[in-house]
């Protein structure tokens, strides 16, 4: 496979053709903030948190969905990028009802962690306070739409790792939400195998194990990566 | 569930022929939903399930696409539905007079639902029943040779209840 040479934050790097900017940066030890990206499933570029600057390209590009090219000069950190990332985060917070103190994921939430690490100390936008419900009809799991950031990780793991295709996104704009089958209560879903992969994948407190209270919901993302490696490469690499 | 169009409704058969024309390809989903809406006036759950089953796509995917485009109408909120076929054959036989009478009577336009959520009025484009034109579908049952009088009579049965 042809190799590409490029620079990220001034560091010159050789990368395999077809790799994404995000993958290459990670291998080089450069951390780019992400939310919708999840190791093991394909990327969709939904959250726009991983935006980077590419010299000669006027718009910002999502690192997870941009393939490396010969001679690319990439910046992953600048005042402009930090400004945009904070803005994106604030919008995510304003769109639904994120009350961390009472959330099952408090302390283990990727959205919360991201807000801390990017120095988001307040939200400049008016909260929409939409009235979304909580679906507790499933025997083992629950879904709180108020905490959902529509990253579609659950949709992708359900369809592409589990193969069930139970979850998807319905509607558009502020009406978008995650559905099970034909928008029925989760507990009535015919296709759901109750495998819990979507719960493992969720970055926020939107999907949870029933019975967990504030701060109790921890996830094991490594399991998803393990499954994909085992299936695709026939390698049973268990993290120890 | 109308997975094998158990209802015997010919419209499912027509829709299936259409899917076959597209070789049941996943990327023909939008096309198929268009056709389904033309035939049925709106996309009810069992119709979406039928499409999902035939195209071998997850129901959630079919529902997701159907709700993304404003063009598609899901189950209307009225307790009863009246779908008037406005296809060529029905039109020639007076479907416009039928729908005109219904609109005037219910004081709603096609695509709307009465304020008390009792009746939703919709249109379709050739429901495959040209031989019995003009055809109207009342709560899912295809009814032949309608006139403004027979249509109002039918609707009044709902209103009375
Ligand atoms: S539990 Fe498994 S099958 Fe059910 S929705 Fe979640 S990922 Fe899909
Ligand atoms: S439920 Fe969780 S994983 Fe699914 S879209 Fe919402 S935030 Fe993402
Ligand atoms: S991680 Fe790249 S857009 Fe979300
Ligand atoms: S035009 Fe109405 S059924 Fe064909």
Confidence of residue B51 (pLDDT cuts 50, 70, 90): very high
> How many angstroms does the Cα of residue B105 sit away from the middle of ligand 1?
48
For the segment B100-128, what is each residue's pLDDT rounded down to a tens digit? 999 999 999 999 999 999 999 999 999 99
pLDDT at A2: 83
Sequence length of chain A is 240
pLDDT at B7: 66
pLDDT at A110: 95
The percent of residues in chain B predicted with pLDDT above 70, rounded, is 94
pLDDT at B4: 54
Residues of chain A with pLDDT under 70: 1, 239-240
Confidence of residue B143 (pLDDT cuts 50, 70, 90): very high
**B68 contact residues in A (CB cutoff 8 A):** 170-172
Q: Who has greater pLDDT, B91 or B76?
A: B91
Confidence of residue B6 (pLDDT cuts 50, 70, 90): low
For the segment B82-100, what is each residue's pLDDT rounded down to a tens digit? 999 999 999 999 999 999 9
Contacts of A238 (CB under 8 A, 6+ apart): A226
Long-range CB pairs of B7-14, under 8 A, 24+ apart, other chains included = B7/B140, B9/B140, B9/B142, B10/B128, B10/B129, B10/B142, B11/B39, B11/B40, B11/B127, B11/B128, B11/B142, B12/B50, B13/B128, B14/B39, B14/B128
> How many angstroms does the Cα of residue A92 sit away from the middle of ligand 3?
13
Q: What is the pTM of this model?
A: 0.88
* Residue B136 parent element (H or E): strand B136-138
Domain A3-77 carries which CATH code? 3.10.20.740
> How many angstroms does the Cα of residue B136 sit away from the middle of ligand 1?
41
Cβ-in-10-Å burial (0-12, 13-18, 19+) of A218 comes to exposed
On whether ipTM exceeds 0.90, the answer is no
Cβ-in-10-Å burial (0-12, 13-18, 19+) of A45 comes to middle
* B132 vs B146: CA distance, rounded Å: 9
Residue-range domain boundaries for chain A: 3-77, 83-233
State chain A's maximal CA–CA distance in angstroms: 53
Q: Which domains does chain B have, with CATH numbers?
A: 10-68 (1.10.10), 80-160 (3.40.30.10)
Confidence of residue B2 (pLDDT cuts 50, 70, 90): very low
Task: Tell me yes or no: is domain A83-233 CATH 3.30.70.20.
Answer: yes
Task: State whether residue A234 sits within 8 Å of chain B by CB.
Answer: no
* Residue A228 parent element (H or E): helix A222-233
* A97 vs A110: CA distance, rounded Å: 16
The reply to whether A3-77 and A83-233 are identical in fold is no
**A44 contact residues in B (CB cutoff 8 A):** none
For the segment A14-60, what is each residue's pLDDT rounded down to a tens digit? 999 999 999 999 999 999 999 999 998 999 999 999 999 999 999 99
Say if the Cβ atoms of B58 and A164 lie within 8 Å.
yes
Residue whose CA lies nearest to ligand 3 atom number 3: A45
Mean of pLDDT over chain B:
92
């Amino acid at each position: 496979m042809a190799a590409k040479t490029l620079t990220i934050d001034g560091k010159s790097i050789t990368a395999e053709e077809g790799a994404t900017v995000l993958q290459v940066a990670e291998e080089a030890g450069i951390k780019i903030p992400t939310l919708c990206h999840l190791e093991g499933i394909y990327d969709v570029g939904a959250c726009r948190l991983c935006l980077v600057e590419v010299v000669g390209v006027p718009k910002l590009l999502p690192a997870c969905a941009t393939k490396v090219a010969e001679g690319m000069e990439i910046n992953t950190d600048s005042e402009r990028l930090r400004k945009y990332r904070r803005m994106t985060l604030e919008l995510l917070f304003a769109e639904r009802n994120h009350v961390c103190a009472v959330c099952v994921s408090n302390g283990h939430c990727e959205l919360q962690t991201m807000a801390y690490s990017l120095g988001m100390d307040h939200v400049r936008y008016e909260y929409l306070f939409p009235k979304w419900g909580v679906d507790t009809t499933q025997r083992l799991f629950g879904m709180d739409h108020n905490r959902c950031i529509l990253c579609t990780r659950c949709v992708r793991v359900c369809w592409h790792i589990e193969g069930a295709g139970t979850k998807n996104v319905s509607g558009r704009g502020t009406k978008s939400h995650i559905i099970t089958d034909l928008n029925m209560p989760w507990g009535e879903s015919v296709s759901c195998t109750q495998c819990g992969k979507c719960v493992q994948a969720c970055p926020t407190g939107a999907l949870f194990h029933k019975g967990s209270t504030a701060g109790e919901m921890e996830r094991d993302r490594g399991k998803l990566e393990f499954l994909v490696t085992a299936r695709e490469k026939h390698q049973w690499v268990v993290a120890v | 569930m109308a997975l094998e169009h158990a209802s015997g409704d010919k419209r499912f058969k027509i829709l299936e022929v259409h899917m076959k024309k597209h070789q049941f390809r996943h990327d023909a989903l939008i096309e198929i939903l268009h056709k389904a809406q033309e035939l049925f006036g709106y996309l009810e759950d069992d119709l979406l399930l039928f499409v999902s089953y035939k195209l071998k796509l997850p129901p959630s995917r079919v529902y997701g696409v159907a709700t993304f485009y404003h063009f598609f109408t899901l189950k209307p909120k009225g307790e009863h539905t009246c779908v008037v076929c406005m296809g060529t054959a029905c039109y020639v036989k007076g479907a416009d007079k039928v729908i005109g009478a219904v609109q005037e009577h219910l004081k709603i336009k096609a695509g709307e639902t009465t304020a008390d959520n009792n009746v939703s009025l919709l249109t379709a484009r050739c429901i495959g029943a040209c031989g019995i034109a003009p055809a109207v579908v009342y709560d899912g049952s295809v009814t032949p040779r309608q006139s403004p009088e027979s249509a109002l009579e039918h609707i009044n049965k709902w209103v009375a209840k």
